[in-house]
Amino acid sequence: MPHPDLHFVHRGELVTLHHVPPTRTLLQLLRDDLGLTATKEGCNEGDCGACTVVLGERRDGRLHYNAVNSCIRLAHSIHGLALWTAQDLAAADGTLHPVQQALLANHASQCGFCTPGFAMSLFGLYQNQVCQGQRVSREQALDALSGNLCRCTGYRPILDAAQQMSSWPTVALNEADILAKLALLATPERALAPDVSYQSPTTLAELLALRAAQPQAQLVAGCTDVGLWVNKQHKDFAQVLDLTRVAELRQISSNEAHLSIGAAVTLTDAFAALEASRPALHAFAMRFAGAPVRNSGTLGGNVANGSPIGDSMPLLIALRARVELASVRGLRELPLESLYTGYRQNVMAADEVLSRIIVPQPAPGEFLRVYKVSKRLEDDISAVCLAVQLHLKEDQVAQASIGVGGVAATPVRARQTEAALRHQPWTPATVDEAMATLRGEFQPISDMRASSDYRRTVLGNLLQRLWRESQGEADVSLETLQA
């Protein structure tokens, strides 16, 4: 099966590569095919950030820069984009880029293996912040580096470097030239013939026609999970169908009743849209993996993947979100929790794709909390995730909606606990009863992340935490709660 040509912009020049297999990762392409070995292979699963590169994409007439993990990104996914690696920062005469100068001045490199990844995450921050005339705060630095791990524990000087990047004269890219080259790559589009190994449709109609003709093709978006199948399970796919260029799936829209998020919207942009009407979600959103994963992964991919420990689903279930499924036969909607039939199994037909997630807007009296319990604060997988949406009226629970992750084969709705809360006075006695119900509603497994007993205990404790926060207590920790 023929492979389409791959076109992208690198070092300001158009690059064309031939015969790139559909499951070739970007990291393999850089290191093995192009000899760009400054980009390191660490964990090869998107957790350490040593392989970080920056991709540039045209948005609203200007370049937007995203730091991503090249190890779990398929090479063909950068078609039509601009690429920067750690070897592209210094000037041709060897003059260091301000990112490199800041790292050097702050002694921010120890063994050095992770440094190229940190430098590229900082380069993305530099382009999006410093080059736009904005200073970098400590919080922004922490967020930008959340997907980069330093095993020598050198975080403080790296964070210092992030805040000092603007101390040197600004080094700006020739964005006009890059945008002109990207425009050349935008047309003509690559062939969408059914016998091509990697297809990137640009319209929903094209996607659905291809899906109907090729139900065996592997759907991909950000590849933050499929990339693991390729690297760790050594899976190979004869055909890949990439959703990320479908215009309709990249749209976010809202009205008074709903927020609609296209399935190919990145997690970064999807959480930003959710936070716009629910600012309290910011802290939870920042704990969803690291920034490079959020910059690649999509909300639709997380939902369709259906992992029982996928963090977005408990939240969306609590918000009573619905999903839209599309095929050449038409559209249908269903509650998000009704999508799943078993472990990583769902009701989608072979010719269907998840097209958008529809989230009701907050109503007056909403009290929303989402709790993620994991061994590491950032860039870690949940042992338990609990999302609770309450509508309180005159000290009574008018409505309760609860989503839970990590306690069953799929993300689930805690229906029994919802019933125990609904129309009850919002009192400690009601909370105690709901805690007991929630602990008994599920039979979670024991695994490397937590025991079954721990998960059940934590579920109840989190509900007690919710109660105390609803009474105005701040910074409630699990350690202060009784089991």
Query: pLDDT tens across 41-92, in order?
Result: 999 999 999 999 999 999 888 999 999 999 999 999 999 999 999 999 999 9
Report whether 292 contacts 305 (CB < 8 A). Answer: no
Residue 7: count other Cβ atoms within 10 Å of its Cβ.
18
Q: What is the mean pLDDT of residues 375-404?
A: 92
pLDDT range class, residue 482, cuts 50, 70, 90: very low
pLDDT range class, residue 317, cuts 50, 70, 90: very high
Question: Looking at residue 378, what is its pLDDT?
Answer: 78
Report whether 106 contacts 158 (CB < 8 A). Answer: yes
* CATH 3.30.390.50 placement within the chain: 366-480
Helix or strand run (H / E) with residue 149: none
Strands 366-373 and 240-242: unpaired
H helix intervals, 166-254: 175-186, 204-213, 226-232
Question: Looking at residue 153, what is its pLDDT?
Answer: 76
Report whether 48 contacts 201 (CB < 8 A). Answer: no
Residue 229: count other Cβ atoms within 10 Å of its Cβ.
16
Question: Looking at residue 483, what is its pLDDT?
Answer: 39
Residue 317: count other Cβ atoms within 10 Å of its Cβ.
23
Tens of pLDDT along 222-272?
A: 999 999 999 999 999 999 999 999 999 999 999 999 999 999 999 999 999
Conformational region of residue 369, where left means phi above 0, alpha means psi within -120 to 50, and beta covers everything else: beta
Question: Looking at residue 71, what is its pLDDT?
Answer: 98
Report whether 418 contacts 424 (CB < 8 A). Answer: no
pLDDT range class, residue 419, cuts 50, 70, 90: very high
Closest CA to 55 of 248, 292, 251, 250: 292
Query: What is the three-class DSSP state of 131?
Result: helix
Q: Which residue has the higher pLDDT, 192 or 284?
A: 284
At what angle are helices 452-470 and 428-441 packed, to 10 degrees?
A: 160
Architecture label for domain 6-167: Roll (3.10)
* CATH 3.10.20.30 placement within the chain: 6-167
Q: Answer yes or no: CATH 3.30.390.30 is held by domain 366-480.
A: no
Tens of pLDDT along 158-171?
A: 999 999 999 999 99
**Is residue 129 scored above 50 in pLDDT?**
yes
